[in-house]
Structure 1
């Protein structure tokens, strides 16, 4: 998360090139799981508001929280008040939310952010702000693969975690947690109940089948742009001034898959992400 706080981080690129979650995640899973009122939604680690806006449409009030001023600047630019009068953003950590009264939130969500949290403090603050019966839902996605192109997928893995590539540039334990499909998030049984987990691993059946749709058809250039938003890619650039690890990675991906030649960035490819979702209710 430290990379996201740096002034030279590409916030606009992050907003434009990160995966968009399927609306069925909200309409077919999170909202049916939820019980009771839909007055207040809290989106932790909201980034540019990727979830705050579409899921917030189902709530009277939606609050996005992020510790990065740059992320919030991007979120506010994408959330004009005349179109989203019920949405507000606050600069804060997930573990400290003094602007929220006790038992005032109906649903808390965290998309691709909970792996950064201080978990004991996080659970304590969630128990405070969540009403009885309210829903907490958190989800994460793993590294992408190219279905049907195992050699290209191996290149991604080598560059992502190789000790001579981006491996040492990931902040820990966040990255390991991210790869766990939310298994690291263990709700304290004294305060939470109704635990449900939905998981998917590319080419491995499991969990709710329609959550498999965090599979995308992207132009190869868009996949490249997404990889450039990785915190580790940013950190690698800081440590290796003048190099381009993502450019090198995509040169090797194209060679491995036979996607070379002019106009390669316009080639449409299948991309899949393993992912996990946790839902739990406040007692």
Structure 2
């Protein structure tokens, strides 16, 4: 069953730029692990597809390993952002390009379309929970070369480090914030909070998709102290935390449902003010409030026979 998501799909170019500015990238160790596992299990480094590419940071980071990289996204606004942010890297149809296409199409709608058995690695960062997984796996089986890989990853909810003053009360406030926006979760958001343990794989979807090796399935999980996001277990200012939370699709839907709750009434702004107060109560100097913590990370890699 598809977990249809329209919030990001309808993003304008300006919204895409805001998303790119305020979302943390992934740690280089994660990118290195994906490439290393891919090549050590028979994968080549000619062609990469980044599905749900958004503003293009993942495609850009991984493109240095591949002769050809294509970022795909159903949002014209996101693709416009990706092309703009990567214009200095040849994002014009050459080594690195960005095109409008869904995960289910995987470039079959392009002219020319992405050819059968032409792709070495498909990646999807914090995006697969919106895919129609049976359709995605069928398309992946079509475009992947033998020995190719599909790497899918994402992150769960934020956890505060005990190194943060008053961290237990701050974690309680984070949990309350999560509960407040929970009514605006779609099935895909629930999949993410479940760390993709219920995400459909080629051998679990209905009908099963042939051509993938269940015995080579790889999963890696990161706890809150390991290097998954770009800053490891980052120490974020409350301003940066507010901006990052503001990019969440349930927050976007909450705001659409509460058009009068702007400024200090906004759900994320109220959360920020509460966290600032709790940090000051824990002894942190006003104006220098920061939260140390991270999110659980998870990576799934599936191999094409």
Question: TM-score, structure 2 length as denominator?
Answer: 0.83
SS of the residue aligned with 1:2? coil
**1:28-43 matches, cutoff 5 A:** 29-34=33-38, 35-43=42-50
User: How big is each residue's C-alpha offset from its partner over 1:142-200, in whole Å with a ceiling of 9 and x where there is no partner?
Assistant: 12122121211221121122xxx312112x21011111222223432442221110012
Structure 1 vs Structure 2 CA RMSD: 2.2
Q: Structure 2 CA distance, aligned partners of 1:250 and 1:141?
A: 21
Determine the C-alpha separation between the residues in 1 that align with 2:9 and 2:89.
28
Provide the C-alpha distance between the structure 1 equivalents of 2:11 and 2:219, rounded to a whole number of angstroms: 36
Q: Which moved more, 1:106-115 or 1:68-77?
A: 68-77
Deviation at 1:281? 0.7
Within the candidate set 240, 245, 250, 1:227 is matched to 245
Find the counterpart in structure 1 of residue 151 from structure 2.
137
Helix, strand or coil: the match of 1:93?
coil
In 2, distance between residues paired with 1:229 and 1:271? 18
Provide the residue aligned with 2:78 in structure 1. 71
Deviation of 1:101 (Å): 1.1
Give the superposition deviation at 1:107.
0.2
Q: What is the rounded CA distance, in whole Å, between the counterparts of 1:7 and 1:113 in structure 2?
A: 15
Deviation at 1:215, TM superposition (A): 2.1
Picking from 44, 52, 69, the partner of 2:51 is: 44
The question of whether the paired residues in 2 share the 8 Å contact of 1:218 and 1:269 is answered with yes
Contact 2:134 2:200 in 1 (8 A): no
Q: How far apart, in 2, do the equivalents of 1:210 and 1:73 lie?
A: 30
Q: Are 1:138 and 1:182, in contact at CA under 8 Å, matched by a contact in 2?
A: no
| Partner SS, residue 57 of structure 1 | helix
Consecutive unaligned residues of structure 1, counting only runs of 5 or more, are 204-208
CA gap of 1:7–1:182, structure 2 versus 1, over 3 A, is closer
Q: Say if 2:224 and 2:293, in contact at 8 Å, map to a contact too.
A: no
Q: What are the residue-to-residue correspondences of 1:171-210 with 2, within 5 Å?
A: 172-189=186-203, 190-193=210-213, 194-202=216-224
Confirm whether residue 242 of structure 1 aligns to residue 260 of structure 2.
Answer: yes
CA contact (8 A) 1:152 1:254 kept: no
Pair 1:92 & 2:96 matched: no
Q: Distance in 1 between matches of 2:27 and 2:245?
A: 20
State the distance in 2 between where 1:127 and 1:2 align. 26
Distance 1:186 1:278 in 2: 11
Flag the 1:211–1:227 CA change in 2: closer, same or farther, 3 A: closer
CA distance in 2 between partners of 1:46 and 1:56 (Å): 12
List runs of 5+ in structure 2 lacking aligned partners: 204-209
Task: Specify the SS of the correspondent of 1:88.
Answer: strand
Shift of 1:258: 2.8
Q: How many residues align?
A: 272
TM-score w.r.t. length of structure 1: 0.89
Structure 2 CA distance for partners of 1:261 and 1:26, relative to 1, 3 Å: closer
What's the counterpart of residue 12 of structure 1? 17
- Tell whether the 8 Å contact from 2:126 to 2:155 is kept in structure 1 after alignment: yes
